[in-house]
Amino acid sequence: MSLFKTILVLAAVLVAAQATTTAFVWVFADGTVNWTSDSFPLNVTRIATGHYCIHGRDESTVGVFNYAALTATLQTNGIEVPIPGYVVTNTGWGDDCNPYGGIAVYTYDNTATLADSAFSAVLNWNGQTSKPKQLLARK
């Protein structure tokens, strides 16, 4: 193999290693998934008032070990009038969502009290998934 071809192969490997995956999910206040991306479908488990855990539909974890970028926005749950509130995300360990993969979304009302709310989320990560022992033990 020529030096030029070797460099091209190495460059392709580096680009592939840095590739990212994007997944989307739109969730009703009760935790029911209204819509998710086809490329990597997400599922959501509501574990408490205003506390939701995001994981792959196949129950794999997504983007946990590298603190993936997660952006969430409150939605109106089909109501025409916007509902004021706040949303906070966590893609690291140390949350009650650990048994579900570690990715959490918290929704708050305008008094900063946890409250169920519809939301949409976009998750970007390196594309690697895994099924940790906590997820397998939950079955």
Higher pLDDT, 38 or 139: 38
> Of 55-59, 116-120, 128-132, which gets the smallest average pLDDT?
128-132
Residues 15-40 pLDDT 10s: 444 557 788 899 999 999 998 888 78
Q: pLDDT by residue (tens digit) across 66-113? A: 567 788 999 886 666 677 899 998 866 667 887 777 788 999 999 999
pLDDT of residue 64: 53
Which residue from 75, 91, 79 is spatially nearest to 126, judged by alpha carbons?
Answer: 91
**Looking at the whole model, is its pTM more than 0.85?**
no
- Average confidence score pLDDT of the chain: 75
Higher per-residue pLDDT: 38 or 134:
38
Write the DSSP string, the chain. Answer: --HHHHHHHHHHHHHHHT--EEEEEEE-TTS-EEEE-SSS-EEEEEEETTEEEEEETTS-EESTTTT-EEEEEE--TT-SSPPPEEEEEE-SSSSTTGGGTSEEEEEEETTS-B----EEEEEEE-S-EE--HHHHHH-
Q: Where are the domains of the chain?
A: 20-138
Q: 39 CB contacts (<8 Å, ≥6 apart)?
A: 21, 22, 23
What are 47-75's pLDDT values in tens digits?
999 999 988 877 666 655 456 778 899 98
